[in-house]
Chains A and B, each alone.
Chain A
Amino acid sequence: MAAIYSLFIINKSGGLIYYKDYGSAGRMDTNDSLRLASLWHSMHAISQQLSPTTGCNGIDLLRADTFDLHCFQSLTGTKFFVICEPSAPYMELLLKVIYELYTDYVLKNPFYEMEMPIRCELFDLNLSQVVQKDRVALLAR
């Protein structure tokens, strides 16, 4: 039982910079994940246009039959979204924690180029620790 199925991080232009799969049924190749990421980026933007009132910041939560999608957009336009089980709790918190890891291990890494795919070992390490901890906590409940 996974806490989350997958994690995507998109840069401000809509390009995929990080993708991690934690247990989806089907295998998704790189091209598909890239396409889905840019598709999400566009739909996030379109949803802001269709808002009946001002001040819309895009989709936070998408609910489907078999999964939920939680999205967090930072002030700089970087989007973090997770695919998880329907009604999984504390996903917003998880996204904020992942954002913190991103700022600590990716942005503060002097060799990391902005908007490029993330290839930081420490980020991967800490991320898997956080997700694993989340999974254990979920099983324990």
Chain B
Amino acid sequence: MQFFSGSAPPGRGAGGPGNNAHMHMLYIFNRAGVCLLYREWNRPLRTLDPQQDHKLMFGLLFSLRSFTAKIDPTTAEKGNLGVPLLPGQGCSFYSFKTNTYQLNFMETPSGIKLILLTHSRTGDQKESLKYIYNLYVEYVVKNPLYVPGTPIQCDLFTKNLDQYVRTLI
């Protein structure tokens, strides 16, 4: 069943009942920039309408990937800035932190980008993102009624996702 290693990474204790103070939002984008899923658990501030917000997020990630590939101090041969990068090409960032939130990023070889915004002081979320990708594969990709490239509307997926995120607090 699992592409990546084993069982779900341990949650940080039982946590309060449904108290998602640590997990803010989750975005899933495909290669073309279509927002397949946007899930929000705790977002007191919304500056833009949803469409603009998704575009801004995708644009930020696209630019950040070009930026990190170009500024990478360990490789000598880098492409030009602004050239679209293939998934896995060039050095990629996996997380950034601000004083109010932390953004965790994972890109799969097929171009699916998972973005998880958490509380500023959360630890490394690579395992959580891998697990969420696993859920995506099981409940969305293997769903015969799902059309790739369209927004996800699978109840089982969102239910399991919410359940899993609740254990991460």
Chain A residues close to B by CB (< 8 Å)? 5-6, 23-26, 28, 32, 35-36, 39-40, 42-43, 46-67, 69, 83
Which A residue's beta carbon lies closest to that of B23? A52
- B74, A56: Cβ atoms under 8 Å? no
> Does B108 belong to the interface (CB within 8 Å)?
no
B8 CB, min distance to chain A CBs, angstroms: 23
Interface residues of B in 60-118 (CB under 8 A from A): 60, 63-64, 66-68, 70-78, 81, 91-101, 103, 117
User: With A49-B56, A55-B100 known to touch, is A40 a contact of B42 (CB < 8 Å)?
Assistant: no
Q: How many residues of B contact A (CB 8 A)?
A: 41
Q: Is the interface of A mostly helix, strand, loop or mixed?
A: mixed
Which A residue's beta carbon lies closest to that of B74? A66
Q: How far is the CA of A25 from the CA of B73 in the complex (A)?
A: 5
> Does B142 belong to the interface (CB within 8 Å)?
no
> Does B2 belong to the interface (CB within 8 Å)?
no
- B101, A51: Cβ atoms under 8 Å? yes
> Does B168 belong to the interface (CB within 8 Å)?
no
- A64, B47: Cβ atoms under 8 Å? no
- A62, B101: Cβ atoms under 8 Å? no
- A24, B73: Cβ atoms under 8 Å? yes
- B25, A47: Cβ atoms under 8 Å? no
Chain B residues close to A by CB (< 8 Å)? 24-25, 42-45, 47-48, 53, 56-57, 59-60, 63-64, 66-68, 70-78, 81, 91-101, 103, 117
- B98, A64: Cβ atoms under 8 Å? no
Partner of B44, one of A35, A54, A59, A63: A54
Q: How far is the CA of A58 from the CA of B71 in the complex (A)?
A: 19
A32 CB, min distance to chain B CBs, angstroms: 7
Which A residue's beta carbon lies closest to that of B42? A52
A67 CB, min distance to chain B CBs, angstroms: 6
Which residues of A sit under 8 angstroms from B117, Cβ to Cβ? 50, 52
Which residues of A sit under 8 angstroms from B91, Cβ to Cβ? 64-67
Having A49-B48, A53-B45, one finds 20 other A-B pairs with CB under 8 Å, namely: A26-B75, A32-B70, A32-B81, A39-B63, A39-B66, A42-B63, A43-B64, A46-B60, A47-B103, A49-B47, A50-B47, A50-B117, A53-B101, A54-B44, A59-B98, A60-B97, A64-B68, A66-B91, A67-B91, A83-B73
Q: How far is the CA of A52 from the CA of B97 in the complex (A)?
A: 13
B141 CB, min distance to chain A CBs, angstroms: 26
Q: Which of A6, A52, A56, A61 has the most CB of B within 10 A?
A: A52
